[in-house]
Amino acid sequence: MQEILGLGMPAYVIIVVIIILISMTIHEAMHGFMAYFLGDNTAKIEGRLTLNPIKHIDPFLTIILPVLLAIVGAPIFGGAKPVPFNPHQVRYGEWGAALVAVAGPLTNLLLAFVCFGISTFIDTSSR
């Protein structure tokens, strides 16, 4: 992919990290927004109802683990700090809790469609 975009390795890594941080932030924030929409204000009270990526970074899952895996040449994965919610405060009981849980993955799916749409406009034929 970096060859297609005509980027060197450092620029490519920076772009990938930024994209992952944005995706991770939106994913976690949507869990919080859905919980808030359904009546639970736990995420708001804890300052997690935000699109500020710093609030969603888990020191180990977001930084240390991916770096260690990259160093040893293993497949890289990581995660964000989960947004807290109280399933007893959301409307619709277990269905409400399920909506909170599925909000993040559905957001990832929407982001994938948006990125695919954008990628169709990138001309790679000249590279």
Active site residues: 28
Calpha distance 93→29 (Å, rounded) = 21
Q: Are 52 and 84 in contact (CB under 8 A)?
A: no
Query: Amino acid letter at 75?
Result: P
